């Protein structure tokens, strides 16, 4: 039988773990049961349409695209083995493509949590650790730049006269990001306190550690995670959450998609479009909560 031969091959030649072999056995047995339920069909007579129909049956049962792709991968492996060992005349699974995996929607900070973060926490205006942390968080939240981009900033990249920042992104591409009045004020206060209390940084980094060294990505991550934990219970509390929050807030307040694309430094607007899904989902929740007949299926 094809399945038994394939599993022996996995055990002896591929030296697969017992757990892997067990998983393959479960998947392939399920596939074989589906095939057997069709009149006059067996693993040797399966064609591409049957494989696609089997995938469709999994999707109809509510299986995720990721789960179906893993199931299909096992079937593909079995038929590659079977074709190589002349157990079938053709590989029916080879042309079949798995369902597209739905990208998870970006996680973002709610505006009320952002207000708590910047306005309600007991920030001390005379302590460099507090001033640096709040300024860094505000920088990420109001500009949407990446963690690597903020650690790469130097004093010379900040233009207080024009209220803008020169950001160096992926593949060394540079873009200009506007700076709001609140960030501009916070940044000037931070830089003054930094120069008073911290050792001078040799390469004139904008955000520096207590030792006077350019802050690392890990330090930024730890700082963001620490303070986001104080205002939200979200599992994900990374600097990228603040980037997502920036984009979502911009679109929620009528910014054009192309403008947000440029501010984020995305090469393609398709990358930015995922945030429109976020705002639409938020819009649906508002509608469901606010409209008096939103939950009445008979009036949809």
Contacts of 98 (CB under 8 A, 6+ apart): 55, 65, 68, 69, 72, 73
Joined together, the tokens standing for residue 259 give 């403008």
Sign of the alpha-carbon torsion through 156, 157, 158, 164: positive
Up-side HSE of residue 269: CA atoms within 13 Å toward CB?
6
Catalytic residue from among 132, 134, 146, 194:
146
The answer to whether 123 and 157 have CB atoms below 8 angstroms apart is no
Beta bridge partners of residue 208, listed in sequence order: 214
Up-side HSE of residue 118: CA atoms within 13 Å toward CB?
18
The Cα angle at residue 251 between residues 287 and 132, in degrees rounded to 5: 120
Is position 94 annotated as part of the catalytic site? no
| Distance (Å, whole) CA 60 – CA 288 | 27
Catalytic residue from among 25, 76, 240, 262:
240
Rounded to 5 degrees, what are φ and ψ at 91? -100, 105
Is position 240 annotated as part of the catalytic site? yes
Q: How many CB atoms lie within 10 A of CB 121?
A: 14
Catalytic residue from among 8, 124, 170, 173:
170
Catalytic residue from among 132, 134, 243, 244:
243
* 25 torsion bin: left (phi>0), alpha (psi -120 to 50), beta (else): alpha
Contacts of 114 (CB under 8 A, 6+ apart): 141, 231, 245
Q: Roughly how many angstroms between the first and final C-alpha of the chain, as a whole number?
A: 53
| Distance (Å, whole) CA 150 – CA 286 | 34
Catalytic residue from among 79, 141, 190, 275:
275
Contacts of 110 (CB under 8 A, 6+ apart): 232
Active site residues: 146, 170, 240, 243, 266, 275
């Amino acid at each position: 039988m094809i399945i038994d031969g394939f599993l022996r091959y996995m055990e002896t030649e591929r030296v697969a773990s017992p757990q892997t072999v067990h998983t393959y056995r479960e998947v392939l047995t399920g596939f074989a049961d589906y095939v057997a339920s069709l009149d006059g069909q067996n693993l040797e007579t399966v064609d591409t349409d049957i494989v696609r129909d089997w995938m469709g049956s999994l999707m109809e049962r509510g299986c995720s695209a990721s789960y179906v792709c893993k199931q299909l991968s096992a079937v593909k492996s079995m038929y590659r083995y079977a074709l190589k060992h002349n157990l079938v005349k053709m590989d029916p699974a080879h042309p079949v493509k798995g369902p597209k995996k739905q990208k998870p929607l970006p996680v973002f900070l709610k505006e009320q949590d952002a207000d708590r973060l910047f306005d309600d926490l007991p920030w001390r205006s005379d302590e460099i650790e507090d001033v640096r942390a709040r300024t860094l968080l505000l920088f990420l939240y109001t500009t949407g730049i990446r963690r690597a981009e903020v650690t790469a900033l130097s004093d010379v990249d900040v233009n207080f006269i024009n209220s803008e920042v020169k950001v160096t992104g992926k593949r060394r591409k540079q873009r200009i990001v506007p700076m709001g009045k609140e960030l501009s004020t916070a940044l000037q206060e931070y830089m003054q306190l930094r120069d008073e209390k911290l050792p001078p940084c040799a390469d004139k980094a904008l955000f520096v550690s207590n030792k006077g060294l350019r802050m690392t990505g890990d330090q930024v991550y730890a700082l963001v995670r620490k303070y986001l934990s104080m205002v939200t219970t979200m599992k994900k509390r990374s600097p990228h959450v603040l980037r997502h929050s920036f984009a979502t807030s911009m679109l929620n307040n009528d910014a054009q998609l192309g403008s947000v694309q440029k501010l984020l430094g995305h090469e393609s607007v398709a990358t930015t479009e995922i945030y429109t899904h976020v705002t639409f989902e938020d819009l649906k929740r508002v509608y469901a909560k606010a409209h008096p007949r939103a939950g009445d299926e008979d009036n949809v």
